[in-house]
Amino acid sequence: MSSNNQKFDSTFKATITGIKEALFPPKTDKILAENDRIDGKTVLVTGSNTGLGFAIATKLAQRGGHIIMAVRSGIPEKGKEIQQLSGHKNVHMEFVELSDLQSIQDLVLRLKAQAITIDILVCNAGMVSAGSKVAANGLDLMFAVNYLSTFYFVNLLLKHEIIRPQNTPRPRLIFVSSESHRVDVPIDYKTFGKPIPYSAAKVVKFYGYYKLILNIFIVELNRRYANNGDDLSIFTLCPGAVHSNISRHSPTLLKPILWLVFKAFFQTPVQASRPAVYFACSPKMEGKTNLYLHMMQDKMMADPAYDAENGREVWKASEQLLAELGFAL
């Protein structure tokens, strides 16, 4: 299992690394057979109206999944597009704005009212800002979208028994993270989630910081709920560099340059969807948990992600922050 601990502390370094990985991907033995299907299983994919999430939802629909697309735009046309591409009609869309906690709560209550039980959850949605931006609730926008929304959403799904531990087969929770979580930034609980001024040059560093917090939460979730795969199967992945819409909030002058670099050198969303689709569909993953794939390679996360004290502190700080905002779990 690889333990490459390369740090990602600049946009330039991250881009060069992404190009190398896309041009020279390592070989993998993680290959799905045609009959590795998820017929009849209910799958929810966040951010699935475009890019990587759209590719994941399409691939899982092709393998028989009943798809719920949790998105903030593209309703209903993107759902119809997946129906056409997959030949599978059981695709429907739900609106959610992940920077808005009330919107997340509303989505969960709608799912509960429909008596939906989720078998496979893919937390894919994410964003990269052009610099420090503030969400409507006063939090850092990247923190709100890339971390806190996931913490709140997953905990609500468990609270309302939309995800039910110990179901057979076990529910699978799949989180899209990033190798950029390997940053030397200590977690500051005094300013947890609050806007921190940073320039476009430091975006990757803070994006990675919030992905580290996400990974710490994921491992703590595994401690609390997975019980070695007997209750939940929890998986994390970095898809590698993807030509997608994640850079749509990048500086205006950089957008055409980034688009050309992404187009020429990065993976397509379909190529990058492989680890998420593998985690969702592979029978070899039944009963497994707490695994991390970088592209299609087994890997360890950065050491802080596995620290139990970090897990307890991040969970506690997240609950306190939600309570302060009026959304106590």
**Predicted confidence (pLDDT) per residue in 233-250, tens digit:** 999 999 988 766 555 555
* 298 bridge partner residues: 293
pTM, entire model: 0.88
Two tokens, residue 224: 């609390």
Helices and strands (H, E) in the chain, number of each type: 11, 8
SS3 169: coil
Q: Of 54, 31, 65, give the one whose Cα is nearest residue 274.
A: 31
Which one of 3.40.50.300, 3.20.20.80, 2.40.420.20, 3.40.50.720 gives the CATH number of domain 11-21+38-324? 3.40.50.720
Residue showing tokens 């980034």: 258
Q: What is the pLDDT of residue 2?
A: 46
Q: Is 73 left (phi over 0), alpha (psi -120 to 50) or beta?
A: beta
Burial class (CB in 10 A: 0-12, 13-18, 19+), 280: buried
Rounded to whole angstroms, how far apart are CA atoms 100 and 96? 8
Q: Extract the tokens encoding 57.
A: 């939802």
The pLDDT of residue 248 is 52
Q: Give the CA angle between residues 50, 170, 316 to the nearest 5°.
A: 75
For 246-287, how does the pLDDT look when each residue is reduced to its tens digit (9 = 90+)?
555 555 555 555 555 555 567 889 999 999 999 999 999 999
Cα(60)–Cα(76) distance, rounded to whole angstroms?
18
3-state secondary structure 236-292: EEECCCECCHHHCCCCCCCHHHHHHHHHHHCECHHHHCHHHHHHHHCHHHCCCCCEE
Q: Token digits for 50? A: 């475009």
Residue 254: closest CA among 197, 200, 178, 199: 200
DSSP class per residue in 11-75: HHHHHHHHHHHHHSPPP-S----TT---TT-EEEEETTTSHHHHHHHHHHHHTT-EEEEEESS-T
What is the residue extent of each domain of the chain?
Answer: 11-21+38-324
The predicted structure's pLDDT at residue 264 = 54
On whether the CB atoms of residues 120 and 239 are closer than 8 A, the answer is no
Task: Give me the residues of the chain with pLDDT under 70, please.
Answer: 1-25, 243-265
Looking at residue 111, its pLDDT comes to: 98
For residue 185, the SS3 value is coil
pLDDT score of 171: 97
For residue 242, the model assigns a pLDDT of 75
SS3 (DSSP) at 122? strand
pLDDT at 243: 67
